Amino acid sequence: MPILVKNTTKLYGKQLALNNVTFEIPSGEIVGFLGPNGAGKSTMMKIITTYLPKSDGVVTVNGFDVDSNALDVKKSVGYLPEHNPLYLELYIKEYLSFHANIHLVSKDRIEEVIDLVGLTPEKNKKINQLSKGYRQRVGLAAALLHDPEVLILDEPTTGLDPNQLADIRNLIKKIGKTKTVLLSTHIMQEVEAMCDRVIIINKGEIVADKKLKDLLESQEQIIEVEFDLRAEEQLLKTIPNIKSVKNIFDNTWHLSFNTKEDMRSKIFDFAQKNGLKTLQLQQKVNSLESLFQELTN
């Protein structure tokens, strides 16, 4: 198993940052580690990469224990920390040589990773001449130098503009074809754009662990509708496929449905038939977003 975390707890003094966390990540998955600020994402990642000791539990990477076999774990893992620690005064190649020496990898590999992360057009520049997007590529290149099986990326897209964001997401997807990736974020769209699976953490506890495919299939449709008059809840419950009815304010309702069929025209027909006028009709489908809000509020 590339990543195994079992009953893991972390205390900073008396502050509980991780509480009995358990998950496994099999080979080849890109997993989004989603949670609000302070949820424990960075702490978990630092433990997996051996940068921080856990207080209790078991964590292994490629079968190597993070406490008793830290060196083998380091060889198996590429890590891009949250604040990508680059030496701005160095040329890209100098910076990557420095990392190549630590990992005892050949200089040829530097050219390989430069190509892999799309840094070729910028490769003769100093790091301080690069945009934030290209700086992230340098961090990714450094994490990939020793060709690790597992990649741990802590908020890899924070602070990027929309174009850089799209480029880095595509790059991570490409790299993810041959690696096991755990990436943290607090942005739901990020998970939808890149990941096979999402693990949601809140206040140090795992509150959801689902395949994106299952999540999207179980997606419920919520429609916000405003009528001109007060409708009876019992009457609204007679709309076909309706799952639940919730009054938001005045004559505005959230109606949820168990179907992928767009129910807006059905609601419109229902209103007409029952002497109601539809003033507003809006589909609210984002199951991951609603799941996240429900679980982390």
Is residue 81 a contact residue for ligand ADP (CB under 6 A)? Answer: no
DSSP type of residue 145:
T
Give the pairing type, strands 205-211 and 197-202: antiparallel
Is residue 35 a contact residue for ligand ADP (CB under 6 A)? Answer: yes
At its nearest, how many Å lie between ligand ADP and the CB of residue 257? 34
In angstroms, rounded to a whole number, what is the distance separating the alpha carbons of residues 127 and 134? 9
At its nearest, how many Å lie between ligand ADP and the CB of residue 155? 8
Establish how many alpha carbons lie within 13 A of residue 3's alpha carbon, considering only the half-sphere containing its beta carbon. 30
Listed in sequence order, the residues at least 6 apart from 22 whose beta carbon sits closer than 8 Å to its beta carbon are 5, 6, 7, 8, 206
Would you put residue 61 in left (φ > 0), alpha (ψ -120 to 50) or beta? beta
Q: Which H helix or E strand runs over 37?
A: none
Is residue 43 a contact residue for ligand ADP (CB under 6 A)? Answer: yes
- The residue count for binding ligand ADP (CB under 6 A) is 11
Nearer to ligand ADP, 17 or 141 (CB): 17
Is residue 53 a contact residue for ligand ADP (CB under 6 A)? Answer: no
Contact pick of 3, 5, 17, 188 for ligand ADP (by CB under 6 A): 17
Nearer to ligand ADP, 118 or 204 (CB): 204
Nearer to ligand ADP, 178 or 293 (CB): 293
Q: CA torsion angle for 248, 252, 253, 254 (degrees, to 10)? A: -70
Is residue 297 a contact residue for ligand ADP (CB under 6 A)? Answer: no
Contact pick of 21, 30, 31, 39 for ligand ADP (by CB under 6 A): 39
Is residue 12 a contact residue for ligand ADP (CB under 6 A)? Answer: yes
In angstroms, rounded to a whole number, what is the distance separating the alpha carbons of residues 193 and 239? 34
Contact pick of 14, 37, 85, 108 for ligand ADP (by CB under 6 A): 37
Alpha helices in the chain (DSSP H): 41-48, 70-76, 92-103, 107-116, 132-144, 162-175, 188-194, 212-217, 233-236, 264-273, 287-296
Quick one: which segment of 9-17, 93-101, 114-122, 135-143 binds ligand ADP (CB under 6 A)? 9-17
At its nearest, how many Å lie between ligand ADP and the CB of residue 160? 18
Give the residue from 84, 71, 59, 78 showing the smallest Cα distance to 7: 59
At its nearest, how many Å lie between ligand ADP and the CB of residue 12? 3
Is residue 199 a contact residue for ligand ADP (CB under 6 A)? Answer: no
* Beta bridge partners of residue 249, listed in sequence order: 252
Contact pick of 26, 38, 159, 240 for ligand ADP (by CB under 6 A): 38
What is the edge-to-edge ordering of all strands in the sheet holding 30-34?
A: 77-80, 150-154, 180-185, 30-34, 197-202, 205-211
Quick one: which segment of 41-49, 106-114, 189-197, 205-213 binds ligand ADP (CB under 6 A)? 41-49
At its nearest, how many Å lie between ligand ADP and the CB of residue 55? 12
Rule CB under 6 A: which residues touch ligand ADP?
12, 15, 17, 35, 37-43
